[in-house]
Amino acid sequence: MPKILSAEDIQDFRAELCRVATERFARYGYDGVTMRQLADDLGCSPKTPYRYFKDKDEILAAVRADAFRRFADALEAEATLHPDPVARARAVGQAYLDFALANPAAYRIMFDVHRAEDTDHPELAREAARARVFITRQAEDLAAVGLVDGDPRVVGYAMWAAVHGLVVLRLAGFLADEAGFRDLHAETMRLIARGARAGKDDTRKAASGGRKR
């Protein structure tokens, strides 16, 4: 007679399956992972994972949703500590780096491993949208206090693209020194912030004649 699983048993097995799947998806991509491999890693029969998830797509959606949820939670937790928008933007940026470096597999599956069917999984769509909106919100808050000129969403995505590029280089081993990596991140953000104010600064110069006397 099969063992009757408690709610705790089910939760524990799903969590362990997702942990194993996160590592495998991050390392081998979607096509490089099979349900049989996941079962082998867990030491169970090939049919056992199907008792908890319909298929591989559902497992990928679950682990990506969990990664996005933990990511967004980390950013939001840091943001609540800083009422000043400049301090908040810096703190959230550091929280972004901390999460990515501490959870490289989760970071990779959030942004590098995806399927067209992702839209069929409401939890994944919700958590991904929460993270995306929160990341770009920092530029909107800076714009509200006059520190960003132009479309804050564009500036927000520019900042995000720059940070993501730095993280990818770091995880790939091209930026091996962590202190240097964080200094480079700070300088990159400084340059983007400076550029985001250029339009307003140019307008002021034009209003005052724009020439030295």
Give the Cα separation of 93 and 115 in Å (integer): 28
Rounded CA gap, 61 and 127, in Å?
11
Domain extent listing, the chain = 56-204
> What are the residues whose beta carbons fall under 8 Å from the beta carbon of 188, sequence distance 6 or more?
162, 163, 166
Q: What contacts 32, CB < 8 A, 6 or more positions away?
A: 24
Complete DSSP assignment for 177-192 = -HHHHHHHHHHHHHHH
pLDDT category, 176, cuts 50, 70, 90?
A: confident
Length of the chain, in residues: 213
Record the pTM.
Answer: 0.84
Site of tokens 């967004």: 72
pLDDT at residue 160 tops 70: yes
Does 212 have pLDDT greater than 70?
Answer: no
What number is the average pLDDT over the span 120-136? 88
pLDDT recorded at residue 213: 42
Q: What is the pLDDT of residue 203?
A: 45
Query: What percent of the chain shows pLDDT beyond 90?
Result: 66
* pLDDT, tens digit, 9 for 90 and up, residues 97-126: 999 999 999 999 999 987 756 667 899 999
Q: Which fold has domain 56-204?
A: Tetracycline Repressor; domain 2 (1.10.357)
Question: What does each C-alpha distance from 52 to 18, 22, 72 come to in angstroms?
Answer: 11, 16, 26
Q: Determine the average pLDDT of the residues in 41-70.
A: 92
Q: Under DSSP, is residue 2 helix (H, G, I), strand (E, B) or coil?
A: coil
End-to-end CA distance of the chain: 93
pLDDT grade for 136, boundaries at 50, 70 and 90: confident
Residue type, 40: D
Confidence tier at 199 by pLDDT (50, 70, 90): low
For residue 204, the model assigns a pLDDT of 47
Mean pLDDT for the stretch of residues 41-65: 92
Q: What is the pLDDT of residue 114?
A: 78
Side chain identity, residue 185: H
Provide the 3-class DSSP secondary structure of residue 38: helix
Q: Please say whether the beta carbons of 42 and 17 come within 8 A.
A: yes
The whole-number pLDDT of residue 1 equals 47
Cβ atoms of residues 204 and 185 within 8 Å: no
